[in-house]
């Protein structure tokens, strides 16, 4: 899939914005859009390998990504090149917006990881969130972000991801 294919009906450009700037954008295959939830699939869009210590994202990995227009998070199921599930990486975001073939998502720094077997659930980047100043500049958004992280962690620990993504 080429970077210019975002104008075809089965492709969207995913645009992740952080602190008012585009952090990354990449083409993704549109799998479903029911008006509330958008589901896409894309290969790992990062440069090289990203090793978090508890999971590695690398060339060949495939992300099935779930975005909501009415929820403060996105969930990305990560599989390796042979299709084995590594786990789910979740971003706390403002609700997604779709315009002109671009799905725009604002990253709010908080993240959650759940391993494929569910034994490793971890909250990530809470220090970055605190340093972002969102609690001062937009207290309502900060509260929504913290609630979204709590909700996702509960789902992750109780095995509710499968139902959420069905």
Query: Cβ–Cβ contacts within 10 Å for residue 29, how many?
Result: 16
pLDDT higher than 50, residue 3: no
Reported as a single tens digit per residue, the pLDDT across 87-129 is 999 999 999 999 999 999 999 999 999 999 999 999 999 999 9
CA distances from 55 to 37, 72, 88, 101 (A): 26, 24, 10, 31
pLDDT higher than 90, residue 161: no
Give the pLDDT score at 162. Answer: 83
Give the pLDDT score at 140. Answer: 97
pLDDT higher than 50, residue 133: yes
Question: Which pLDDT band holds residue 9 (cuts at 50, 70, 90)?
Answer: low
Q: What is the pTM of this model?
A: 0.91
- 7 secondary structure, DSSP code: G
Burial zone of 17 (CB within 10 Å; 0-12 exposed, 13-18 middle, 19+ buried): middle
Reported as a single tens digit per residue, the pLDDT across 32-41 is 999 999 999 9
Three-state DSSP state, 97? strand
Give the pLDDT score at 4. Answer: 40
Radius of gyration, alpha carbons of the chain: 15
Task: Choose among 81, 150, 90, 155: nearest CA to 118.
Answer: 155
Give the pLDDT score at 46. Answer: 81
């Amino acid at each position: 899939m080429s970077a210019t294919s975002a104008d075809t009906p089965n492709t969207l450009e995913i645009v992740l914005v952080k602190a008012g700037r585009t952090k990354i954008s990449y083409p993704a295959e549109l799998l479903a859009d029911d008006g509330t939830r958008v589901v896409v699939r894309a290969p790992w869009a990062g440069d090289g390998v990203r090793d978090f210590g508890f999971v590695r994202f690398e060339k060949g990995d495939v992300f099935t990504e779930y975005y909501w227009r009415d929820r403060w998070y996105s969930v990305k199921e990560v599989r390796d090149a042979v299709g084995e599930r590594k786990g789910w990486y979740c971003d706390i975001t403002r609700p997604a917006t779709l315009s002109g073939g671009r799905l725009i998502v604002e990253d709010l720094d908080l993240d959650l990881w759940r391993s494929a077997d569910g034994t490793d659930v971890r909250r990530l980047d809470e220090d970055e969130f605190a340093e972002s100043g969102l609690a001062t500049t937009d207290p309502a958004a900060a509260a929504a972000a913290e609630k979204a992280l709590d909700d996702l962690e509960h789902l992750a620990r109780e095995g509710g991801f499968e139902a959420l993504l069905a």
